[in-house]
Amino acid sequence: MTANTVAELNKRFGIAGVAVVEAGEKGLARVSVKTAAAEGHVYLHGAHVSHYQRTGEAPMLYMDKSSWFESGKPIRGGVPVIFPWFGPNPNDKTQPAHGLVRQREWELVSVAQQEKDAVCVTLAIKSNEEMKKAWGHDFELTYRVVIGRTLSMSLIVKNTGSESFSCENALHTYFRVGDIHNTTVSGLENTSYLSKVEGGVIVNPGDNPVKFEKETDRVYFNTRAVCVIKDRILNRHILVEKEGSLATVVWNPWIDKAKAMPDFTDDAWPTMVCVEAVNAGFCAWTVNPGESRAVTQIVH
Ligand code: TA6
């Protein structure tokens, strides 16, 4: 995006002293918010929240220093917006993993100050011919990100076509932790999960919180639970709430998977964990013509 366009966007949407549209990594346009409560960055590329930090605390989101910031490529870290499929495209392996919208530019719709120390950034994207060819349906997505004492992200999916469609979606949030070996995730006890690293076996964890001793890639189904990331090194608990989602994914790539990803710093895997609000598999949505459905993740 040209500097001129960024300047034009800032003229239209900037709020003096609170929000500015600026050139971020590799010149990509982002909305940078800073209030007394917190700061954050939202890129138009992928509608990607890349940074959220509450005043006086360590950043809450993980962002890989090797991440691409390029048109057509996903950003590694922060909160990838996943739609309309989760993981690889089941029908066409040439399609990008995790859907069509995380590597595309979204339209900045509005930047609005809310209660004293919070700002709401709204972005949108509509299906085009290329996306319709890849997936076959018309849709409009609206994404509302509120940066304040909490980080709230709501993805609204509208079916603008004439037929019902089934879709998957996720807010694929990468959290920063001091050391994954000293981190647990609670809230998913006694909730069955599909373990991707153990060939898709279904496991019931019993009363145990999630501990991390190897690559961990779990899809917990039929859960609306609040998760708590307990970080003994950064000495904090991050609460991860959600609405409109019946599956939660917990992921850490560990050593080999981290090395295998070119945009993931090899030795950075101990400093992150994904806890994701997901609708996928048998928790996928059916959206009827004209209908809208929303998934929200609230972090604090
Ligand atoms: O959500 C977990 C997962 O599906 C893992 O299986 C792994 O493929 C990861 O997502 C990849 O995340 P990325 O940000 O590279 O799309």
97 lines ligand 1 (CB under 6 A): yes
Residue 261 CB burial class (10 angstroms; 0-12, 13-18, ≥19): middle
Counting atoms of ligand 1 from 1, which one is nearest the CA of 278? 1
**pLDDT of amino acid 15:** 97
Mean pLDDT of 274-290: 97
285 lines ligand 1 (CB under 6 A): no
Phi and psi at 207, nearest 5°, equal: -80, 5
Mean pLDDT of 10-24: 97
Counting atoms of ligand 1 from 1, which one is nearest the CA of 80? 14
Mean pLDDT of 58-86: 96
Query: In this model, does residue 1 exceed pLDDT 70?
Result: no
**pLDDT of amino acid 90:** 86
Chain length of the chain: 300
Q: To test ligand 1's pocket by mutation, which of 215, 217, 297 has the most ligand atoms within 8 angstroms of CB?
A: 217
Residue 239: strand pairing partners? 228
137 lines ligand 1 (CB under 6 A): no
80 lines ligand 1 (CB under 6 A): yes
**pLDDT of amino acid 259:** 96
**pLDDT of amino acid 116:** 77
Q: To test ligand 1's pocket by mutation, which of 75, 251, 254 has the most ligand atoms within 8 angstroms of CB?
A: 251
Report pLDDT digits (tens) over 38-50.
999 999 999 999 9
Number of neighbouring beta carbons within 10 Å of residue 294? 15
Query: In this model, does residue 274 exceed pLDDT 80?
Result: yes
Counting atoms of ligand 1 from 1, which one is nearest the CA of 102? 16
The mean pLDDT of the chain is 96
**pLDDT of amino acid 114:** 94
Residue 22: strand pairing partners? 30
Report pLDDT digits (tens) over 225-239.
999 999 999 999 999
Cα 272 to averaged position of ligand 1 atoms, centre (Å): 13
**pLDDT of amino acid 3:** 66
**pLDDT of amino acid 115:** 83
Mean pLDDT of 157-178: 98
Q: To test ligand 1's pocket by mutation, which of 95, 174, 274 has the most ligand atoms within 8 angstroms of CB?
A: 274
